[in-house]
A = this chain, B = another copy of it.
Amino acid sequence: MSHSASTESLRPGAGKPSPRFELLTFGDELLLGLTPNTHLTWIGAELGRRGVQLARNVTLNDEAAAIAAQFRESWARAEVIITTGGLGPTCDDNTREAVAGVLGQRLVFDPAIEHAITERFARFGRQLTPTANNRKQAYRFERGEVLPNANGTAPGLWVEQEGRVLVMLPGPPNELRPIFTEQVLPRLAARGLLTSGEAYVQIRTAGVGESLLETRLQPVFDRHPGLGLSYCAHLGQVDCRISSPDGRYQMDALQNIAQACATSLGEDFVCFGHASLVKVVGDQIRAQGHTLAVAESCSGGLLANSFADLRGAAKFFQGGIVSYSNEAKMLLLDCPECLLSQHGAVSAECAVAMAGGVAEQLGADYGLAITGFSGPAGGTGENPVGTIFLGLQAPGGVWSKKLTYPGPRSAVKERAVTAAIDWLRREVFQEARQAAGPAAN
């Protein structure tokens, strides 16, 4: 994956220095590479949307001395410290106690937490008395608050002291995320430590590289000095975030500027905000009352899964065929054997036959197909590894497109899927504009 972000920060206040946020993630399983550090990725992105860039993330195990030393160091330099993990029933007490020592606070037993744990156990039909380990979870900081956890036993903990904020969150993502979104973000916003809504307007684009996008949008930005701009590239898509670091533009002015960008980008503009490319095209197909079917070989099922992952996909997504073998292409997609032997399975002709075949088989309005050499083996002189053919069958016609991607197999597959969905998006929206008549163009 290739990502980048400009170093220009998107700050919440009007010219004020950003408060410093640090994230401490506890867990052997992160350091042993058994589980990815999704806390960093998720919390970093959530804070970024509110105008804060995390200054640092430290991952360490639950050794008390190491926790205390790291927390002391972070507490000395950061305005906000967020910790994850180390609060579960099977964890040692290390985390809470090490932190309490640095804060100079006592841990106190909170009957309300114990009551919530007991209630939770009763609701799930388990024993009525929590274990000794669960009882440890009922301790909070003497001068601190509790952030109730609707999805688990360990609540989050909140401390304000010496002009600083400490937030301790349980490790499981399905417990951490609701606490963070519903309780932590509003509290931090109320104290002016981040913006109460999004700190920027985001323009999502596809099919344009980062530097070309900058060049194309610059004329719009030249008319509005003092904007904060940040570009984020991810697998064939680039987002541009527009903010007002010194507060001279209000949100509606930023939205007008973003609208001017969208107009100038034409069909390379995908949406405002955070909707995925596949959601944008899926919603439009559904709105038109049309249906979709997909066929793929080298992408192995990832194209189908992109659509199947959408909520309400069943309303427009008929299904997909993973025609990994030539037999599958002939038996399931009616690809003629002579076509396969003359042009090969990685060819414009085969991509078109796959797209038409799957649309025909499933009676769908749109058929979208991917075939190619994703590597590491395969490829020919004319079509080396990284060569992808897309096929698209639509109410308005049928086409193929050849693409080439460098990089390892997983990146080639992801890029091919993104390119296919983006191509479908352009066709679907063009047909919608044509159906709406010339006035809508």
Instruction: Give A contacts to B, CB under 8 Å.
Output: 1, 3-5, 7, 28-38, 40-48, 53-62, 66, 70, 173-174, 232, 234, 293-294, 298-305, 307-309, 311, 313-314, 317-325, 327-328, 331-332, 361-363, 376-377, 407-408
Contact = CB atoms under 8 A, between A and B. Distances in A.
Contact of A5 (B28, B70, B328, B407): B28
Given A321-B321, A408-B174, A33 B44 contact: yes
A28 B230 CA distance: 12
B7 A28 contact: yes
B57 A59 contact: yes
A33 B37 contact: no
B55 A32 contact: no
Given A34-B5, A36-B41, A317 B308 contact: no
Given A5-B28, A33-B45, A37-B36, A324 B317 contact: yes
13 contacts: A7-B61, A33-B40, A36-B38, A56-B58, A173-B408, A305-B305, A307-B324, A317-B325, A318-B324, A319-B324, A320-B322, A331-B361, A331-B363
B41 A57 contact: no
Given A28-B5, A300-B308, A331-B361, A325 B321 contact: no
Given A30-B40, A56-B59, A301-B304, A324 B313 contact: yes
Given A5-B29, A57-B57, A320-B322, 6 more contacts: A33-B48, A299-B305, A300-B307, A311-B377, A317-B324, A331-B362
Contact of A34 (B45, B305, B311): B45
Q: Chain A's interface: helix, strand, loop or mixed, by majority?
A: mixed
A277 to B, nearest CB: 16
Q: Which 9 A-B pairs have the closest CB atoms?
A: A301-B301, A300-B308, A33-B45, A33-B44, A319-B328, A301-B304, A301-B305, A320-B322, A300-B305
Question: How many copies of this chain?
Answer: 2
A320 B314 contact: no
Contacts of A311: 376-377
Given A319-B328, A328-B362, A232 B40 contact: no
B57 A44 contact: no
Nearest to A34: B3
A134 B35 CA distance: 35
A348 B405 CA distance: 42
A32 B321 contact: no
B308 A304 contact: no
Contacts of A5: 28-29, 32, 34
